[in-house]
Structure 1
């Protein structure tokens, strides 16, 4: 039986989060109601939403990475059935016991049967990260890819790039633990941009595609993105994926002199649904692994200190899984 109220983490205003009792969402005919099994912190987007973002009006139920079972569905919802375990990209409101999701506005999938409850909510991140290369397939003259930022999204993209058939994968990240994990998950070589010199940049193999997965640049001197662009071949592609709160700085001279071009990740929902089926298959057969990304597990009531730790010490955790105390 679905209760009338539930517990949820509500962002009352920028920077003010509170665990409080709210009404269970009432669904429209085009929505499903999902009982949340697990959720997880988004290292990339959640900090920006927390601090205040033009796309999100407060108060709102925080969080957007979750998975669960459909417990109610509207009359206009096809394809999905009661009791199905599902994951989806993208709809906010996940840090609650129940969430209303609109399948027509999202890319929703049945969770692969071999995924555990803890792994399932990370599928939102997997689908989101893979958008960076969904329409940038390896082909003649496009076989090497560099990924700047080996947080959760970058580590997923290492695996997706390998599964797509990229022959050489290069990673950049400040933190040794992330660089080492990238090597285990399929990267061929990794670099710490904090110690990069002009001479070292010249020794890095040129990439056909460079993907910006990083957050705010915290290094002095030349912007990290500019240095990264120096390692992309003339005429190469830069995919801008990350969400730096302070914006992204780079030299237009380097960008123009190397005749680079830039695009964002796929946002066409039809493409994401179609390519997402391919991603689901890669997770199912083990080409994209989720368990190595999970570093912490906490109860929902302990979310706030866990989130503060993500903000203050991003090097200490990759994916933080959340569950309600009475769940298995």
Structure 2
């Protein structure tokens, strides 16, 4: 089968390898879609990244059950699923424990049902502590920000202030129902949030970029005894924080990422239910599609972010 592995910066190769056989309690999934994650982009773009062995990667996977391992009984061959995996989803097939698969309705498009990022965003919204009536400031409205914006509304936020600097992200925020959109390329985002909240700051500020500037703005934009949610995936070096401001404001700071597979799966199940009930939308967040043979072009596109870019998906 064909599978992609990263060898070094800017070097992803599509190889011919043996098709995996599902072990007892596993299902073999024929991959139909795998989203490109910014955490993978960090490896691809980092000139200091090194690996002695090729890394088979890709974890935002949906597809069709192709084979059952001994004792696997939750699914049948032909069932549509999205999965949690760390075993290399940029491949024609991937095997995972059957407990790591979530069933999809017959009409759910595979590219919409990228379970891992959906679950990550729903878990982030759950950990945000948003209460009915809260004013929420969201800094960063890319693919993940677009998901968590919807999660914030479902949690009961009465007012959402969305901040970004890219025209496509600002348009996305409007389309998803943000009450106010702030163009960070034209004005100071934290100052504008303070103006919009009568000088108090937002009840909950969600930083969803993984960048130092957004972390600084989030600190400034949060109200006294507010909540600062670090949802962006911070990579590429250390960050600095204004601990004095955090102390003085008495902020509750939450790093809203999960690493426990069971927590991930809970978020995936929640997100898929919302998606299939038309309470969560994914289609407007997907902008660029690639075949597996063009995976390096997918990474180049994600790194350069051309006009209109939000999310790259590899389809099979």
TM band (smaller chain): 0.7 to 0.9
* Other structure's SS at 1:131 match: helix
Provide structure 2 residue ranges, at least 5 long, that are not aligned to the other structure: none
Which residue of structure 2 lines up, in the alignment, with residue 224 of structure 1?
214
Aligned Cα RMSD in Å?
Answer: 2.6
- Count of matched residue positions in the alignment of Structure 1 and Structure 2: 309
Contact 1:201–1:230 (CA under 8 A) maintained in structure 2? no
Which residue of structure 1 lines up, in the alignment, with residue 167 of structure 2?
176
Structure 2 residue 34 is the aligned partner of structure 1 residue 39: yes
Provide structure 1 residue ranges, at least 5 long, that are not aligned to the other structure: 1-5, 218-222
Which residue of structure 2 lines up, in the alignment, with residue 239 of structure 1?
229
Which residue of structure 2 lines up, in the alignment, with residue 207 of structure 1?
202
- TM-score normalised by structure 2 residue count: 0.87
Distance 2:70 2:35 in 1: 30
Which residue of structure 2 lines up, in the alignment, with residue 311 of structure 1?
303
* Other structure's SS at 2:144 match: helix
1:7 to 2, 18, 37: 2
Question: C-alpha displacement at 1:266, in angstroms?
Answer: 5.1
Question: C-alpha displacement at 1:176, in angstroms?
Answer: 1.6
2:274 to 261, 282, 288: 282
Structure 2 residue 145 is the aligned partner of structure 1 residue 154: yes
Deviations 1:119-172 (Å, cap 9, x if unpaired)?
A: 23x3332112222122345436x6222221111000011112212222111212
- TM-score normalised by structure 1 residue count: 0.84
Distance 2:191 2:117 in 1: 35
Which residue of structure 1 lines up, in the alignment, with residue 94 of structure 2?
99
Which residue of structure 2 lines up, in the alignment, with residue 112 of structure 1?
105
Distance 2:103 2:278 in 1: 17
Classify 1:102/1:14 alpha carbon distance in 2 versus 1 (closer, same or farther; 3 Å).
farther
* Other structure's SS at 2:125 match: coil
Q: Write the mapping of 1:59-78 to structure 2, written as runs, cut at 5 A.
A: 59-78=54-73
1:302 to 294, 298, 303: 294
Distance 1:67 1:314 in 2: 26
1:50 to 23, 34, 44: 44
Classify 1:202/1:240 alpha carbon distance in 2 versus 1 (closer, same or farther; 3 Å).
closer
Deviations 1:235-262 (Å, cap 9, x if unpaired)?
A: 1122222223234333222222211121
Classify 1:265/1:310 alpha carbon distance in 2 versus 1 (closer, same or farther; 3 Å).
same
Which residue of structure 2 lines up, in the alignment, with residue 123 of structure 1?
115
Contact 1:38–1:323 (CA under 8 A) maintained in structure 2? yes
